[in-house]
Amino acid sequence: MVLVDMHSTPGQPWDYCPRTTLRRIATKLEEEFGLVVSTGFESEFYLLRREDNNNWIAIDSTSYCSVAAFDGASLVLLEVLKALQSMHYFVEQLHAEAGDGQFEVALGYPSCVCVADNLVFLRESVRAIATKKSLRATFLPKYFPMDIGSGCHVHLSLWKDGKNRVYG
């Protein structure tokens, strides 16, 4: 997979390229106001296993932050952790979430353009590792109609002179 900036013609960034826009806004904040944007994601996903009838169901039905849920999915989750660390991502948390078979990965806070790329690689890594283990990972907001949904929470802060300017 390759993540790229979109160009309307060679060497000319497309006006609506999300990466170019994000980079332009971050640069403007820093140059005009001395503010550095710090961003982190908490990405929730379900791990599913296939039943004999080919339906996909949650791999467990344990409670929030359950050690048993983590243990049951440890072959997948530890490989995800190793993969992310090999890409030099700082993983703040990796834990069972509130839904059946639901987990969350919280990444650290690099630059906003970098963290957007990291989110893509996180999702692709989780899906690939789950598939390798004969499971399915889904980041859909509402995979199970009667269960809690998955989100991708974004944390933004603005820093100036080494201090968080939106704290409190």
DSSP assignments along 67-115, one per residue: HHHHHHTHHHHHHHHHHHHHTT--EEEEEE-SSTTEEEEEE----HHHH
Query: CATH code at 86?
Result: 3.30.590.10
Look up the domain containing 110 and give its range.
41-151
Query: Does any domain span residue 1?
Result: no
Query: Does any domain span residue 71?
Result: yes
Q: Which two tokens stand for residue 1?
A: 């997979």
Query: Does any domain span residue 64?
Result: yes
Query: Does any domain span residue 111?
Result: yes
Query: Does any domain span residue 138?
Result: yes
Query: Does any domain span residue 164?
Result: no
Number of independent structural domains in the chain: 1
How far apart are alpha carbons 125 and 59 in whole angstroms? 18
What does each of the 168 residues of the chain score in pLDDT, given as a tens digit? 678 889 999 989 898 998 889 889 999 999 999 999 988 899 999 999 999 898 999 999 888 888 888 888 999 999 999 999 999 999 999 999 999 999 999 998 877 778 888 899 999 999 999 999 999 999 999 998 888 889 999 888 899 998 999 876
Give the β-pairing of 135-138 and 163-164: unpaired
Query: Does any domain span residue 45?
Result: yes
**Helices 18-33 & 112-132 angle (0-180, nearest 10):** 140
Count of Cβ atoms closer than 10 Å to residue 119 Cβ: 19
Query: Does any domain span residue 28?
Result: no
